[in-house]
A and B are shown apart, each in its own frame.
Chain A
Amino acid sequence: MSDQDFVRRLPGAAAMAGRGRLVRIRLDPLLLAALLAIIGFGLIVLYSVVGGDQALFTNQLVRMGLALVAMVVAAQLDPRLYLRWAPFVYAGGLLLLVLVLVMGVRVKGSQRWLDFPGLPRFQPSELMKIAVPMMVAWYLHERPLPPSLKDIAVALVIVAVPAGCIVLQPDLGTGILVAGAGLAVMVLAGIYWRWIAYAAAAVAVAAPGLWYLLQDYQRQRILTLFDPESDPLGAGWNIIQSKTAIGSGGLYGKGLLEGTQSHLEFLPEAQTDFIIAVIGEELGFVGVLFLLGLYMVVIGRGLYIATQAQNTFQRLLAGSLTLIFFVYAFVNIAMVSGLLPVVGVPLPLVSYGGTSAITLLASFGIIMAVRPQRAW
């Protein structure tokens, strides 16, 4: 496919303009509905968690509004712009990451934020969650697919440099997610499964070496995963309490505002990373299942849009952004329920916190922009 094809179809799009406002302003109704449902669900749960703290709830409401605006704006842009801007966004992001390492603001032992006068404090690593897959897609979109070993090597460098910078902050969680986003593009590009298998084998062999590179607290998190009871008041506390919260919710939960684990502060980070435990406790198995269902709708729709994309770049970009969203949700829930080590990954669109919501909804804007107008 080429840009020419796209131009040719424009009249068709104009012809369909009358089918509805949403289409005219280029939004995907199904995706939008599912996203709004998740956001609404998340706000309800957040309201329960923060209890009387109106300020916190209002903050989140405003952030979600901003994020939705970002999504709408991103959806209106011509997808060709993303292709053209990809290298610049990537290079700019990389520059900011270096700046973070040099002059970033240090909070809780890691240096993740940039604080320019007159601008709100922001986290450049969030930008890279979109910039990296965009850049990898840009690099691969004109090359023969499945990619050659040399192309894969170049793509790996594109991924590794920013991911490395982020890990140095140190922010292992985001680093892995950024790397995952880049790798997702490669997988979508049709990389041979056996190469993935080889890589996995290599990682397994290198694992003992990696062990020494991890920080103490990171090692502790992995050890805790296998035996949380070994340190019930220290590192194991979080995971024991989150499992207890989820388990004690049972089938239907204790009811909104009735979760003892979260309201009595047994559950740490209840409104941020561990919010799924609150859902499990207050709304039970049914509540979690409902949220998982919404996530599956979003992912299914995202992947469908990717398959309908008009060129390789768009397909890779939309696909990888959807995959990243899935990885977020999966890693968070697996971590809180004790299947994966505790890494700082919020539950997408539900956890309290603005930056990731803006990144996520912006990426869905891009996916919607990619959506061919004739589809549907």
Chain B
Amino acid sequence: MALFVVATVLVMILVGRLVQLQIFEYAKYRTRSDENRIQVEPLAPPRGLIYDRHGVLLADNRPQLSLSIVRERVSDFDALVGELRALIDISDGDLADFGRRLERRRRPYEPVALKLVLSEDEQAVLAVNRHRLKGVEVTRQLVRNYPFDSLFSHAVGSVRRVSEQDLQYLDPVRYSATKFVGRRGVERFYENSLHGEVGYRRVETDAHGRVRRELEVNRPTAGQNITLHLDSRLQIAASAALGQRRGVVVALDTRSGGVLAMVSNPGYDPNAFVLGMSSQQFASLSQSRDTPLFNRAISGQYAPGSIFKPVVGLAGLASGAVTWEDEIDDPGYFQLPGQSRIYRDWNWSQSNTGGQGITNLRRAIYRSSNVFFYDLATRLEVDELAAFAAQFGYGHKSAVDIADASEGLLPTRSWKLEVKGEPWYPGDSVNLGVGQGDLLVTPLQLATVAAVFANRGARVRPRMLLASDRPLSEFDPPRPLPRVQGPSADDWEQMVDAMEDVVHRGNQGYGNNGTAWAYIGRDIGYRMAGKSGTAQVVEIKQGEEYDEEELDEYRRKHAWFIAFAPADDPVIALAVLVENGGAGSSVAGPVAREVLDAYILPQLAAR
């Protein structure tokens, strides 16, 4: 009997324990049981697609197989790696990267990528041996794909794998499933819209982390598809025209400022950033003397050379310092009063010491007389010239949606005092008159300048975005720019005529043809206006002759050409730069012609 009492007491202890667990602490254990089994998995949104103006895909998504490891399910990692290596190729670099990824913040049982790119064959081998490979998962995810490889690398940009640093500024929830983030170009500027909204699914997992059941799915919202001004046919033509040469073609729609083509050579294959590259591959890209990762079109800053002359001419007309009728005698060199230094014309050489002769503004443009503009620039107040040039986009960024564009440099008196600690010398004005000295521009800025001439003073902002399904958060419609103030309508027309002469004035005898006529103007079927430029990379000392052959390739002059067409009713304006290419008319001019042909001729044929 006593024993039964003892037994009863002991049973009451058990009952007490059950009451404690199941009644008083029920909520706690219920929660714990749910947390045990319910995992929230973020779902990455498909990245928005990028189209060109004709609906050609410039960036899309394609499925990619990768090999991941659930570390929690692997007891002997080294043994597993040994087994995997017997089946597929896993480099030491893959292992080192895996180690780094493992160190990052992550959810328990979250698969960590070991090999980012699996071929179908490798996947098949793994599938056959699946039973031996506990904790190994082959996952299929959508990754960025650039169908044109390097063609649009600088225009569209690229994505890269989200890094630890990225996670410090990216919204950790929004990017919880995202593997790639826009790194350059359009991909970067419109990252927010292209990314889309993360979804999630609540799944029931067992103690081994395997998903047993889907409880709730909240689908991700795909990123916005966007359409760019880019014209892939024109881009192909521009790239072909440049060929293997280092250089840039930037073409704008003259009415909207939309970027029709943007080639910066050399480019890189943006798909390599998606697939992942070895550190050697990256080093060879980032340390190459040809800087393929550098977008020359928007970030490269160069002296414009003679491209600046039409702006100086209009500034002179606007200020009254010169008229279309004024003439000078160009002896082939220029001297400031009381100074011995000689500023030479571009066609000066030991054998040809003569100049352009009697030269007015129009002739000074189509013959690209240096002496005329040396003289004119000394008669202009530098700050007024700078203020006038600024209206064309010199010295500042006017692009709507192009990140990382450089501002260039438009020197003024205060700038020189501040930065160089020197006053403005008359010699600085002489150099500025022909676009040398401290003046720096980007090819994008010069394309904009070409568009301003094409529009007879109406300014446009360069822009990439043509259309999107819905308004984009990044796109803040900018104020329209005012017209360039100063020149009269007649001044604009005459200046355009002078620039047409650059291309079309021919058969006038030696020294009287447009500078580019011999190279591009003989057989052209439409009216094109242009201006060549040849920018010094190194200063040529007094009395020395510039000898291209003797100069190291990277110290040779840059060849420039800006143009627009058709001259009377322009639809396209462009800037061409061939780095260290030599003379603008002969080297950059034909590139410009080829690109314009590709755009204009089909339109003419259609009419």
Contacts and interface: CB of A to CB of B under 8 A. Distances in A.
A246 B15 CA distance: 12
B208 interface: yes
Interface in A249-306: 249-251, 260-261, 264-266, 280-281, 284-285, 288-289, 292, 295-296, 299-300, 303
Interface string B184-213: 000000000000000000001111100010
A337 B18 contact: yes
Interface of B: 1, 3-4, 7-8, 10-11, 13-15, 17-19, 21-23, 25-26, 28-30, 32-34, 36-37, 204-208, 212
B24 to A, nearest CB: 9
Contacts of A330: 7, 10-11, 14
A296 B8 contact: yes
Contact of A326 (B7, B22, B23): B7
6 contacts: A187-B3, A260-B34, A264-B36, A280-B22, A281-B33, A292-B15
Contacts, number: 109
A245 B25 CA distance: 12
A245 B33 contact: yes
Contacts of B207: 264-266
A33 to B, nearest CB: 19
A244 B32 contact: yes
A296 B15 contact: no
Most chain A CB neighbours (cut-off 10 Å) among B13, B21, B25: B21
Nearest to B205: A264
A243 B32 CA distance: 10
Interface residues of A, number: 39
A339 B22 contact: no
A321 interface: no
Contacts of B206: 264-266
Contacts of B10: 326, 330
B23 A251 contact: yes
Nearest to B213: A264
A330 B7 CA distance: 9
A296 B14 contact: no
A296 B6 CA distance: 12
Nearest to A268: B207
Closest A-B pairs by Cβ, 8 of them = A247-B29, A248-B33, A264-B206, A285-B22, A247-B21, A265-B207, A248-B29, A266-B207
Given A264-B37, A337-B14, A337-B17, A319 B3 contact: yes
A247 B26 contact: yes
B22 to A, nearest CB: 4
Given A296-B7, A319-B3, A260 B33 contact: yes
Nearest to B21: A247
Given A264-B207, A266-B207, 17 more contacts: A244-B32, A246-B21, A247-B29, A247-B33, A251-B23, A251-B26, A260-B34, A264-B36, A264-B37, A281-B33, A289-B15, A289-B18, A292-B14, A292-B15, A307-B1, A337-B17, A338-B17
A261 B19 contact: no
A281 B26 CA distance: 11
Contacts of B22: 246-247, 249-251, 280, 284-285, 288
Contacts of A248: 26, 29-30, 32-34
Interface in A204-262: 241, 243-251, 260-261
Nearest to A288: B18
A281 B18 CA distance: 11
B212 A243 contact: no
Nearest to A243: B21
Contacts of B28: 247
A285 B19 contact: yes
A246 B18 contact: yes
Nearest to B35: A244
A100 interface: no
Contact of B7 (A243, A280, A299, A334): A299
A300 B4 contact: yes
Nearest to B26: A250
A251 B237 CA distance: 77
Majority SS at the chain B contact face: helix
Interface of A: 187-188, 241, 243-251, 260-261, 264-266, 280-281, 284-285, 288-289, 292, 295-296, 299-300, 303, 307, 319, 323, 326, 330, 333-334, 337-339
A260 B204 contact: yes
Nearest to A292: B11
Given A296-B7, A334-B14, A260 B30 contact: no
Contacts of A292: 11, 14-15
Contacts of A261: 33, 36-37
Contact of A265 (B17, B21, B208): B208
B3 A188 contact: yes
A261 B32 CA distance: 10
B29 A334 contact: no
Contacts of B8: 296
A289 B23 CA distance: 13
Contact of A266 (B15, B19, B21, B37): B37
The residue among B4, B18, B32 with the most chain A CB atoms within 10 A of its own CB is: B18
A337 B11 CA distance: 13
Contacts of A280: 18, 21-22
Contacts of A303: 1, 3-4, 7
Nearest to B10: A330
Contacts of A289: 15, 18
B37 A260 contact: yes
Contacts of A251: 22-23, 26
Contacts of A337: 14, 17-18, 21
Given A247-B25, A250-B23, A250-B26, A260 B18 contact: no
A334 B10 CA distance: 10
B35 to A, nearest CB: 9
A284 B10 CA distance: 20
A264 B212 contact: yes
Residue of B10, B17, B33, B37 with most chain A CB atoms under a 10 A cut-off: B33
A337 B3 CA distance: 23
Nearest to A296: B11
Nearest to A187: B3
A247 B22 CA distance: 4
Contacts of A319: 3
B33 A244 contact: yes
A244 B29 contact: yes
Contacts of B1: 303, 307
A285 B29 contact: no
A113 to B, nearest CB: 28
Nearest to A259: B33
Nearest to A233: B72
Nearest to B25: A247
A333 B11 CA distance: 10
A187 B207 CA distance: 45
